[in-house]
Amino acid sequence: MDNNIFYKENLLDFVNNFYKRFDKDLYRIIKSAESREGINPTVGKSVGRLLSFFTRMKNPDRVLELGTCIGVSTIIFAKNMSDNGEVVTIDIRADLLKEAIAHFKKFNIKPEKIKPVLGDINDVIPGLKKENAKFDIIFQDSAKKSYPRLLESLIEMLNPSGLLITDDVLLEKAHFPEHIKGINEALKEHNNMILEHKNLDSIFIPLEKGVIVSRKIK
């Protein structure tokens, strides 16, 4: 499991044998991003396979992604959803969004299938709510301090039986430098909120830095 935080190498080798069919070009992008400074790690092969599995199972019409980065997870959603589906993906950094759009073209994703949005999620999400936007899958992979603050809005935008997939939840237990402290507390608050929420049926999946998959009950 790429970018894992607690698995031993022999177990990683065993698990990765299940992922041999993972797109090699996409995996090259994932690996190249690991050594770059100035960007947060993109999803690894394990979470990528998880996203493709749930996307094919759900066959969503609309997906909302918070945190485009360089477009790896966006491509996974777009390639595995219905032909008429749409991914709305948000990122605050124009340079990363530009790189992601180049990757979309490289993977021959139809332009109408992905709607890139440049902006702060704290501004974009209220606008989507005003439009009464609804989604079948929401992927939360944005700034971790925003997780608890945005949770109720994301649940509201989910269709009944829709999936909220939240990445990096195990970073609650990580150690951060002084200048970015507060992430642990935000994730702890968020994880407690999501696991106790009456309108969510949730499961924790220990892949990479931890994923919580939640189904909206009604």
User: Given this model, what pLDDT does residue 126 score?
Assistant: 96
Better pLDDT: 192 or 15: 192
Strand partners, 167: 211
| pLDDT tens readout for residues 22-50 | 778 888 888 888 778 777 778 988 899 99
Better pLDDT: 86 or 12: 86
Tokens describing residue 76: 């996974």
| pLDDT tens readout for residues 180-201 | 667 888 999 999 999 999 999 9
User: Given this model, what pLDDT does residue 175 score?
Assistant: 53
Q: In this structure, are residues 35 and 4 in contact, taking their beta carbons and an 8 Å threshold?
A: no
What does the angle CA 172 – CA 88 – CA 142 come to, to the nearest 5 degrees? 15
User: What's the rounded Cα separation, in Å, for the pair 120 and 91?
Assistant: 7
Map out the domains of the chain as residue ranges.
Answer: 9-216
Strand partners, 88: 64, 115
What does residue 197 show for φ and ψ, rounded to 5 degrees? -70, 130
Looking at domain 9-216, what is its CATH homologous superfamily?
Answer: Vaccinia Virus protein VP39 (3.40.50.150)
Res. 177: pLDDT tops 90: no
| pLDDT tens readout for residues 48-76 | 999 999 999 999 999 999 999 999 999 99
